[in-house]
Chain A
Protein backbone atom coordinates (compact mmCIF):
# COMPACT_ATOMS: atom_id res chain seq x y z
CA UNK A 1 0.00 0.00 0.00
CA UNK A 2 1.16 3.50 -0.82
CA UNK A 3 0.95 6.63 1.21
CA UNK A 4 -2.21 8.70 1.23
CA UNK A 5 -4.49 5.91 0.11
CA UNK A 6 -7.62 5.72 2.14
CA UNK A 7 -6.88 3.28 4.98
CA UNK A 8 -9.89 1.57 6.54
CA UNK A 9 -9.30 0.82 10.20
CA UNK A 10 -11.71 -0.91 12.54
CA UNK A 11 -11.33 -0.84 16.31
CA UNK A 12 -12.96 -3.70 18.21
CA UNK A 13 -12.98 -2.81 21.89
CA UNK A 14 -15.84 -2.91 24.38
CA UNK A 15 -14.66 -0.07 26.64
CA UNK A 16 -16.01 3.22 25.22
CA UNK A 17 -13.14 5.35 26.57
CA UNK A 18 -10.48 3.10 25.06
CA UNK A 19 -12.33 2.96 21.77
CA UNK A 20 -13.02 6.64 21.29
CA UNK A 21 -9.62 7.56 22.73
CA UNK A 22 -7.79 5.58 20.06
CA UNK A 23 -10.09 6.95 17.36
CA UNK A 24 -9.27 10.45 18.58
CA UNK A 25 -5.54 9.79 18.23
CA UNK A 26 -5.86 8.18 14.79
CA UNK A 27 -7.93 11.08 13.48
CA UNK A 28 -5.16 13.46 14.42
CA UNK A 29 -2.65 11.83 12.08
CA UNK A 30 -3.18 14.03 9.09
CA UNK A 31 -0.52 12.47 6.91
CA UNK A 32 -2.56 9.39 6.26
CA UNK A 33 -6.16 9.31 5.38
CA UNK A 34 -7.62 6.98 8.00
CA UNK A 35 -11.27 6.13 8.07
CA UNK A 36 -12.00 4.66 11.47
CA UNK A 37 -14.96 2.55 12.51
CA UNK A 38 -15.55 1.51 16.10
CA UNK A 39 -17.16 -1.77 17.03
CA UNK A 40 -18.39 -2.33 20.55
CA UNK A 41 -20.52 -5.34 19.95
CA UNK A 42 -19.00 -8.72 19.13
CA UNK A 43 -21.75 -9.83 16.76
CA UNK A 44 -21.20 -6.79 14.53
CA UNK A 45 -17.54 -7.58 13.85
CA UNK A 46 -17.86 -10.59 11.47
CA UNK A 47 -20.54 -8.75 9.51
CA UNK A 48 -18.38 -5.66 9.20
CA UNK A 49 -15.30 -7.62 8.10
CA UNK A 50 -17.31 -9.51 5.51
CA UNK A 51 -18.92 -6.42 4.05
CA UNK A 52 -16.11 -3.91 4.16
CA UNK A 53 -12.77 -5.69 4.02
CA UNK A 54 -10.93 -3.16 6.21
CA UNK A 55 -7.15 -2.96 5.98
CA UNK A 56 -6.47 -3.00 9.70
CA UNK A 57 -8.24 -4.51 12.69
CA UNK A 58 -7.17 -3.19 16.08
CA UNK A 59 -8.71 -5.55 18.58
CA UNK A 60 -8.62 -6.13 22.30
CA UNK A 61 -7.39 -9.75 22.71
CA UNK A 62 -10.13 -10.18 25.34
CA UNK A 63 -12.87 -8.98 22.95
CA UNK A 64 -16.00 -11.14 23.24
CA UNK A 65 -16.91 -13.40 21.55
CA UNK A 66 -13.26 -14.42 21.30
CA UNK A 67 -11.65 -13.90 17.91
CA UNK A 68 -8.67 -15.96 16.95
CA UNK A 69 -6.10 -13.74 15.24
CA UNK A 70 -4.65 -16.60 13.20
CA UNK A 71 -8.09 -17.68 11.98
CA UNK A 72 -9.03 -14.11 11.07
CA UNK A 73 -5.87 -13.73 9.02
CA UNK A 74 -6.53 -16.99 7.30
CA UNK A 75 -9.98 -15.84 6.30
CA UNK A 76 -8.82 -12.33 5.33
CA UNK A 77 -5.22 -12.69 4.11
CA UNK A 78 -4.76 -8.94 3.52
CA UNK A 79 -6.03 -7.92 6.94
CA UNK A 80 -3.47 -6.65 9.43
CA UNK A 81 -4.46 -7.56 12.96
CA UNK A 82 -3.10 -5.46 15.82
CA UNK A 83 -3.65 -6.33 19.48
CA UNK A 84 -5.00 -3.44 21.57
CA UNK A 85 -3.65 -4.13 25.03
CA UNK A 86 -4.81 -2.46 28.22
CA UNK A 87 -3.21 -4.69 30.87
CA UNK A 88 -0.24 -6.95 31.42
CA UNK A 89 -0.47 -9.83 29.02
CA UNK A 90 1.73 -12.82 28.23
CA UNK A 91 3.65 -11.90 25.03
CA UNK A 92 3.19 -15.49 23.84
CA UNK A 93 -0.53 -14.85 23.65
CA UNK A 94 0.15 -12.13 21.07
CA UNK A 95 2.32 -14.15 18.70
CA UNK A 96 -0.41 -14.38 16.06
CA UNK A 97 -0.89 -10.61 15.87
CA UNK A 98 0.96 -8.39 13.40
CA UNK A 99 1.68 -5.77 16.05
CA UNK A 100 0.65 -4.55 19.47
CA UNK A 101 -0.62 -1.16 20.61
CA UNK A 102 -0.70 -0.50 24.33
CA UNK A 103 -2.98 2.06 25.96
CA UNK A 104 0.21 3.68 27.28
CA UNK A 105 1.73 4.24 23.83
CA UNK A 106 2.49 7.80 22.73
CA UNK A 107 0.69 8.94 19.55
CA UNK A 108 4.01 8.96 17.66
CA UNK A 109 4.64 5.32 18.59
CA UNK A 110 1.18 4.36 17.36
CA UNK A 111 1.82 6.22 14.13
CA UNK A 112 5.18 4.48 13.67
CA UNK A 113 3.68 1.06 14.29
CA UNK A 114 0.92 1.63 11.76
CA UNK A 115 3.28 3.09 9.18
CA UNK A 116 5.68 0.16 9.48
CA UNK A 117 2.82 -2.25 9.05
CA UNK A 118 1.02 -0.50 6.22
CA UNK A 119 3.39 1.35 4.00
CA UNK A 120 6.22 0.24 1.81
CA UNK A 121 9.35 2.11 2.74
CA UNK A 122 10.09 4.74 0.13
CA UNK A 123 13.64 5.99 0.03
CA UNK A 124 12.78 9.30 -1.59
CA UNK A 125 9.77 9.84 0.62
CA UNK A 126 10.90 13.16 2.08
CA UNK A 127 11.78 14.81 -1.17
CA UNK A 128 9.00 13.73 -3.51
CA UNK A 129 6.43 16.24 -2.30
CA UNK A 130 8.49 19.22 -3.38
CA UNK A 131 10.18 17.67 -6.36
CA UNK A 132 9.65 19.49 -9.65
CA UNK A 133 8.64 17.66 -12.79
CA UNK A 134 11.47 16.73 -15.14
CA UNK A 135 11.30 17.98 -18.71
CA UNK A 136 10.61 14.42 -19.85
CA UNK A 137 7.66 14.22 -17.50
CA UNK A 138 6.29 17.50 -18.84
CA UNK A 139 6.65 16.14 -22.34
CA UNK A 140 4.66 13.08 -21.35
CA UNK A 141 1.90 15.20 -19.81
CA UNK A 142 1.53 16.99 -23.16
CA UNK A 143 1.04 13.71 -24.97
CA UNK A 144 -1.37 12.37 -22.35
CA UNK A 145 -3.64 15.42 -22.46
CA UNK A 146 -3.61 15.37 -26.25
CA UNK A 147 -5.14 11.92 -25.98
CA UNK A 148 -2.26 9.65 -26.99
CA UNK A 149 -2.19 6.11 -25.65
CA UNK A 150 0.79 4.82 -23.67
CA UNK A 151 1.78 2.82 -26.74
CA UNK A 152 1.81 5.86 -29.05
CA UNK A 153 3.70 7.90 -26.45
CA UNK A 154 6.32 5.15 -26.21
CA UNK A 155 6.70 5.13 -30.00
CA UNK A 156 6.88 8.92 -30.26
CA UNK A 157 9.64 9.12 -27.65
CA UNK A 158 11.37 5.85 -28.59
CA UNK A 159 11.07 4.46 -25.08
CA UNK A 160 9.34 1.36 -23.72
CA UNK A 161 5.70 1.31 -22.61
CA UNK A 162 6.94 0.27 -19.21
CA UNK A 163 8.98 3.49 -18.97
CA UNK A 164 5.95 5.56 -19.99
CA UNK A 165 3.90 3.92 -17.25
CA UNK A 166 6.63 4.60 -14.68
CA UNK A 167 6.73 8.25 -15.74
CA UNK A 168 2.97 8.55 -15.46
CA UNK A 169 3.02 7.00 -12.00
CA UNK A 170 5.69 9.48 -10.89
CA UNK A 171 3.73 12.39 -12.34
CA UNK A 172 0.61 11.31 -10.45
CA UNK A 173 2.64 11.01 -7.27
CA UNK A 174 4.33 14.39 -7.59
CA UNK A 175 1.25 16.38 -8.59
CA UNK A 176 -1.41 14.35 -6.75
CA UNK A 177 -3.39 14.37 -10.00
CA UNK A 178 -4.62 11.00 -11.17
CA UNK A 179 -6.91 11.70 -14.10
CA UNK A 180 -6.08 12.99 -17.57
CA UNK A 181 -8.78 15.66 -17.24
CA UNK A 182 -6.96 16.86 -14.12
CA UNK A 183 -3.64 16.85 -15.95
CA UNK A 184 -5.27 18.97 -18.67
CA UNK A 185 -5.96 21.74 -16.15
CA UNK A 186 -2.38 21.53 -14.92
CA UNK A 187 -1.03 21.61 -18.48
CA UNK A 188 -3.09 24.67 -19.43
CA UNK A 189 -2.31 26.50 -16.18
CA UNK A 190 1.39 25.94 -16.77
CA UNK A 191 1.20 26.74 -20.48
CA UNK A 192 2.45 23.32 -21.54
CA UNK A 193 -0.24 23.02 -24.23
CA UNK A 194 -2.86 25.14 -25.98
CA UNK A 195 -6.54 24.65 -25.30
CA UNK A 196 -7.23 23.95 -28.99
CA UNK A 197 -4.79 20.98 -28.92
CA UNK A 198 -6.62 19.15 -26.18
CA UNK A 199 -10.23 20.20 -26.50
CA UNK A 200 -11.38 17.19 -28.51
CA UNK A 201 -9.91 14.74 -26.06
CA UNK A 202 -11.63 16.00 -22.95
CA UNK A 203 -15.17 16.15 -24.18
Chain B
Protein backbone atom coordinates (compact mmCIF):
# COMPACT_ATOMS: atom_id res chain seq x y z
CA UNK B 1 0.00 0.00 0.00
CA UNK B 2 1.26 3.45 -0.74
CA UNK B 3 2.30 5.66 2.11
CA UNK B 4 1.78 9.03 0.53
CA UNK B 5 -0.28 10.38 3.39
CA UNK B 6 1.71 8.92 6.22
CA UNK B 7 4.25 10.69 8.37
CA UNK B 8 7.80 9.39 7.96
CA UNK B 9 10.87 9.36 10.23
CA UNK B 10 12.42 12.05 8.05
CA UNK B 11 9.55 14.53 8.43
CA UNK B 12 10.13 17.58 10.57
CA UNK B 13 8.53 17.09 13.98
CA UNK B 14 7.06 20.58 13.81
CA UNK B 15 5.17 19.72 10.60
CA UNK B 16 3.62 16.67 12.25
CA UNK B 17 2.20 18.73 15.12
CA UNK B 18 1.31 21.65 12.88
CA UNK B 19 -0.91 19.49 10.73
CA UNK B 20 -2.97 18.01 13.56
CA UNK B 21 -2.84 19.66 16.94
CA UNK B 22 -4.34 16.66 18.75
CA UNK B 23 -0.95 15.03 18.18
CA UNK B 24 0.49 17.28 20.88
CA UNK B 25 -1.00 14.93 23.46
CA UNK B 26 0.53 11.91 21.70
CA UNK B 27 3.90 13.64 21.93
CA UNK B 28 3.61 14.23 25.64
CA UNK B 29 2.32 10.72 26.40
CA UNK B 30 5.45 9.34 24.78
CA UNK B 31 7.39 11.58 27.12
CA UNK B 32 8.67 13.77 24.28
CA UNK B 33 9.08 17.41 25.19
CA UNK B 34 8.61 20.50 23.06
CA UNK B 35 11.44 22.75 21.97
CA UNK B 36 12.80 20.40 19.31
CA UNK B 37 13.61 23.14 16.80
CA UNK B 38 14.12 21.87 13.25
CA UNK B 39 14.74 18.24 14.18
CA UNK B 40 13.11 15.37 12.30
CA UNK B 41 10.83 12.82 13.91
CA UNK B 42 13.64 10.26 14.03
CA UNK B 43 16.11 12.73 15.55
CA UNK B 44 13.66 13.83 18.26
CA UNK B 45 12.77 10.22 19.11
CA UNK B 46 16.39 9.07 19.20
CA UNK B 47 17.54 11.97 21.32
CA UNK B 48 14.84 11.20 23.89
CA UNK B 49 15.01 7.38 23.72
CA UNK B 50 11.56 6.80 22.26
CA UNK B 51 10.86 3.98 19.81
CA UNK B 52 10.40 5.88 16.55
CA UNK B 53 8.31 3.22 14.75
CA UNK B 54 5.85 2.93 17.60
CA UNK B 55 5.57 6.70 17.84
CA UNK B 56 4.85 6.95 14.11
CA UNK B 57 2.35 4.08 14.22
CA UNK B 58 0.35 5.94 16.87
CA UNK B 59 0.71 9.31 15.14
CA UNK B 60 -0.41 7.91 11.79
CA UNK B 61 -3.28 6.06 13.42
CA UNK B 62 -4.57 9.21 15.12
CA UNK B 63 -4.14 11.22 11.92
CA UNK B 64 -5.88 8.52 9.88
CA UNK B 65 -8.79 8.16 12.34
CA UNK B 66 -9.59 11.84 12.01
CA UNK B 67 -10.07 11.26 8.29
CA UNK B 68 -11.51 7.80 7.89
CA UNK B 69 -9.96 4.88 9.66
CA UNK B 70 -7.73 2.52 7.76
CA UNK B 71 -7.02 -0.80 9.40
CA UNK B 72 -3.55 -1.87 8.38
CA UNK B 73 -1.53 -4.65 9.80
CA UNK B 74 1.99 -3.43 9.64
CA UNK B 75 2.60 -4.14 13.25
CA UNK B 76 5.82 -6.15 13.05
CA UNK B 77 7.86 -3.05 13.65
CA UNK B 78 6.18 -1.67 16.69
CA UNK B 79 7.44 -2.19 20.20
CA UNK B 80 4.71 -3.44 22.51
CA UNK B 81 6.73 -2.26 25.51
CA UNK B 82 6.70 1.28 24.15
CA UNK B 83 3.02 1.06 23.27
CA UNK B 84 2.09 -0.13 26.76
CA UNK B 85 4.11 2.71 28.27
CA UNK B 86 2.20 5.11 26.02
CA UNK B 87 -1.20 3.67 26.99
CA UNK B 88 -0.31 3.88 30.68
CA UNK B 89 0.68 7.51 30.29
CA UNK B 90 -2.62 8.14 28.54
CA UNK B 91 -4.47 6.58 31.48
CA UNK B 92 -2.60 8.78 33.87
CA UNK B 93 -3.39 11.81 31.70
CA UNK B 94 -7.14 11.12 31.86
CA UNK B 95 -7.24 10.23 35.55
CA UNK B 96 -4.73 12.67 36.96
CA UNK B 97 -5.16 15.63 34.67
CA UNK B 98 -8.02 15.80 32.23
CA UNK B 99 -10.94 14.52 34.34
CA UNK B 100 -9.98 16.52 37.47
CA UNK B 101 -9.50 19.66 35.35
CA UNK B 102 -12.96 19.27 33.85
CA UNK B 103 -14.44 18.81 37.33
CA UNK B 104 -12.79 21.97 38.57
CA UNK B 105 -14.03 24.04 35.66
CA UNK B 106 -17.49 22.52 35.94
CA UNK B 107 -17.59 23.43 39.64
CA UNK B 108 -16.66 27.04 38.93
CA UNK B 109 -19.23 27.25 36.15
CA UNK B 110 -22.01 25.78 38.27
CA UNK B 111 -21.14 28.09 41.18
CA UNK B 112 -22.26 30.96 38.98
CA UNK B 113 -25.81 29.61 39.16
CA UNK B 114 -26.53 29.77 42.87
CA UNK B 115 -30.23 29.07 42.31
CA UNK B 116 -29.35 25.61 41.06
CA UNK B 117 -27.30 24.33 43.97
CA UNK B 118 -29.16 21.03 44.20
CA UNK B 119 -28.68 20.31 40.52
CA UNK B 120 -25.02 21.22 40.80
CA UNK B 121 -24.63 18.71 43.58
CA UNK B 122 -26.29 15.90 41.60
CA UNK B 123 -24.21 16.68 38.52
CA UNK B 124 -21.02 16.48 40.55
CA UNK B 125 -22.17 13.23 42.16
CA UNK B 126 -22.77 11.81 38.68
CA UNK B 127 -19.37 13.02 37.57
CA UNK B 128 -17.52 11.55 40.54
CA UNK B 129 -19.21 8.21 40.06
CA UNK B 130 -18.25 8.32 36.42
CA UNK B 131 -14.61 9.07 37.18
CA UNK B 132 -14.58 6.12 39.59
CA UNK B 133 -15.78 3.89 36.77
CA UNK B 134 -13.09 5.14 34.40
CA UNK B 135 -10.52 4.56 37.10
CA UNK B 136 -11.67 0.95 37.60
CA UNK B 137 -11.58 0.33 33.84
CA UNK B 138 -8.07 1.73 33.44
CA UNK B 139 -6.75 0.09 36.60
CA UNK B 140 -7.92 -3.24 35.22
CA UNK B 141 -5.96 -2.65 32.04
CA UNK B 142 -2.87 -1.48 33.93
CA UNK B 143 -2.96 -4.36 36.40
CA UNK B 144 -4.13 -7.32 34.33
CA UNK B 145 -4.02 -6.71 30.60
CA UNK B 146 -0.63 -5.00 30.45
CA UNK B 147 0.88 -7.45 32.92
CA UNK B 148 -0.40 -10.31 30.77
CA UNK B 149 1.23 -8.81 27.66
CA UNK B 150 4.48 -8.23 29.50
CA UNK B 151 4.60 -11.89 30.50
CA UNK B 152 3.89 -12.81 26.86
CA UNK B 153 6.85 -10.68 25.85
CA UNK B 154 8.95 -12.70 28.28
CA UNK B 155 7.77 -15.83 26.47
CA UNK B 156 5.28 -17.02 29.10
CA UNK B 157 1.93 -17.90 27.58
CA UNK B 158 -0.41 -19.36 30.14
CA UNK B 159 -3.40 -19.81 27.85
CA UNK B 160 -6.11 -18.89 30.38
CA UNK B 161 -6.47 -15.36 29.10
CA UNK B 162 -6.14 -14.05 25.59
CA UNK B 163 -6.44 -10.64 24.05
CA UNK B 164 -9.62 -11.63 22.31
CA UNK B 165 -11.40 -11.71 25.70
CA UNK B 166 -10.24 -8.18 26.18
CA UNK B 167 -11.19 -6.94 22.70
CA UNK B 168 -14.68 -8.45 22.91
CA UNK B 169 -15.54 -6.83 26.21
CA UNK B 170 -13.77 -3.61 25.56
CA UNK B 171 -16.80 -1.56 24.69
CA UNK B 172 -16.89 2.17 24.89
CA UNK B 173 -19.16 2.40 27.91
CA UNK B 174 -16.81 4.83 29.60
CA UNK B 175 -17.28 7.12 26.65
CA UNK B 176 -21.05 6.63 26.65
CA UNK B 177 -21.41 7.84 30.23
CA UNK B 178 -19.60 11.06 29.41
CA UNK B 179 -21.85 11.51 26.38
CA UNK B 180 -24.81 11.08 28.72
CA UNK B 181 -23.59 13.79 31.09
CA UNK B 182 -23.06 16.17 28.20
CA UNK B 183 -26.57 15.46 26.88
CA UNK B 184 -28.14 15.97 30.30
CA UNK B 185 -26.48 19.35 30.77
CA UNK B 186 -27.36 20.51 27.26
CA UNK B 187 -30.95 19.29 27.36
CA UNK B 188 -32.03 19.66 30.95
CA UNK B 189 -29.83 22.15 32.77
CA UNK B 190 -32.05 25.17 33.56
CA UNK B 191 -29.60 27.89 32.66
CA UNK B 192 -30.72 31.37 33.70
CA UNK B 193 -28.04 33.44 31.99
CA UNK B 194 -25.28 33.16 29.46
CA UNK B 195 -22.56 31.22 31.22
CA UNK B 196 -19.38 31.15 29.15
CA UNK B 197 -17.61 29.03 31.69
CA UNK B 198 -20.28 26.35 31.50
CA UNK B 199 -20.00 26.41 27.71
CA UNK B 200 -16.24 26.09 28.03
CA UNK B 201 -16.73 23.07 30.32
CA UNK B 202 -18.91 21.52 27.65
CA UNK B 203 -16.19 22.09 25.05
CA UNK B 204 -13.77 20.31 27.38
CA UNK B 205 -16.17 17.41 27.82
CA UNK B 206 -16.62 17.10 24.04
CA UNK B 207 -12.84 17.09 23.64
CA UNK B 208 -12.30 14.56 26.38
CA UNK B 209 -15.00 12.37 24.86
CA UNK B 210 -13.23 12.41 21.48
CA UNK B 211 -9.90 11.77 23.18
CA UNK B 212 -11.28 8.76 25.08
CA UNK B 213 -12.83 7.47 21.89
CA UNK B 214 -9.48 7.71 20.13
CA UNK B 215 -7.76 6.03 23.04
CA UNK B 216 -10.17 3.06 23.01
CA UNK B 217 -9.94 2.85 19.26
CA UNK B 218 -6.14 2.71 19.44
CA UNK B 219 -6.38 -0.10 21.98
CA UNK B 220 -8.82 -1.96 19.74
CA UNK B 221 -7.13 -1.42 16.40
CA UNK B 222 -3.43 -1.30 17.15
CA UNK B 223 -2.77 -2.74 20.59
CA UNK B 224 -5.14 -5.74 20.47
CA UNK B 225 -4.07 -6.92 16.96
CA UNK B 226 -0.39 -6.52 17.84
CA UNK B 227 -0.91 -8.67 20.94
CA UNK B 228 -2.93 -11.20 18.91
CA UNK B 229 0.00 -11.48 16.48
CA UNK B 230 2.35 -12.11 19.36
CA UNK B 231 0.02 -14.77 20.79
CA UNK B 232 -0.14 -16.51 17.41
CA UNK B 233 3.63 -16.41 17.09
CA UNK B 234 4.14 -17.94 20.53
CA UNK B 235 1.50 -20.62 19.85
CA UNK B 236 3.23 -21.48 16.55
CA UNK B 237 6.60 -21.77 18.19
CA UNK B 238 5.15 -24.02 20.85
CA UNK B 239 3.69 -26.31 18.18
CA UNK B 240 6.60 -26.66 15.96
Contact = CB atoms under 8 A, between A and B. Distances in A.
Nearest to A44: B73
Interface string A173-203: 0011111011011101110001100100011
B164 A50 contact: yes
Contact of A188 (B71, B122, B228): B122
Interface residues of B, number: 39
Interface string A11-43: 000000001100110010000000111111101
B126 interface: yes
The prevalent SS among residues of A at the interface is helix
A51 B68 contact: no
B184 A188 contact: no
Contacts of B176: 178
A186 B71 contact: no
Given A40-B70, A190-B188, A185 B123 contact: yes
Contacts of B125: 181, 184, 202-203
Contact of B225 (A23, A51, A53, A190): A51
Given A36-B69, A38-B68, A182-B180, A51 B126 contact: no
Contact of A40 (B72, B183, B189, B220): B72
B145 interface: no
A177 B118 contact: no
A88 interface: no
Interface residues of A, number: 40
B126 A38 contact: no
B119 A188 contact: yes
B73 A184 contact: no
A51 B168 CA distance: 7
Nearest to B117: A195
A40 B189 CA distance: 45
Listed residue (A51, A52, A188) with the most chain B CB atoms within 10 angstroms of its CB: A51
A10 B70 CA distance: 10
B181 interface: yes
A41 B73 contact: yes
Contacts of A179: 126, 177, 180
A47 interface: yes
Given A41-B1, A202-B125, A189 B189 contact: yes
Interface string B30-69: 0000000000000000000000000000000000000111
Interface of B: 1, 67-73, 116, 118-119, 121-123, 125-126, 129-130, 163-164, 167-168, 172, 176-177, 180-181, 183-184, 187-190, 217, 220-221, 224-225, 228
- Give 4 closest A-B pairs by Cβ, nearest first: A23-B68, A195-B118, A181-B126, A51-B167
Interface of A: 6, 10, 19-20, 23-24, 27, 35-41, 43-44, 47-48, 50-53, 175-179, 181-182, 184-186, 188-190, 194-195, 198, 202-203
